[in-house]
Amino acid sequence: MVLTRATLNVVDGHNAGFTAEIQTRDVSSSGVCFLLREELHVGQLCRVSIPGHKPHTCEVIRSRQLSSGKYEMAVEFRD
């Protein structure tokens, strides 16, 4: 799957409780990559819900700021 809408819910750490609609850049059997205006930290837990699929608990494994000011995030499924 590539370029699909999803919902992100931050579970712990700073921004806990934050919810955002995201546009995925890449989805695999092990995780998701997407852009976000808010920074999340490696190790933070979140929940990603992709329409038509069960929600996944995820851990942030990459967070890097882009020149646009957004953050490229990669999360790995933990369930």
Per-residue pLDDT of 60-79, as tens digits, reads 999 999 999 999 999 999 98
* Inter-CA distances, 9 with 20, 55, 68, Å: 7, 10, 23
- Class at the top of the CATH hierarchy for domain 5-77: mainly beta
Q: Which two tokens stand for residue 71?
A: 């953050």
Assess contact for 63 and 73: CB atoms under 8 A.
yes
DSSP letter assigned to residue 69: S
DSSP letter assigned to residue 52: T
Backbone angles phi, psi at 74, to 5 degrees: -130, 130
Q: pLDDT above 90 covers what percent of the chain? A: 78
pLDDT reported for residue 60: 97
Domain range list for the chain: 5-77
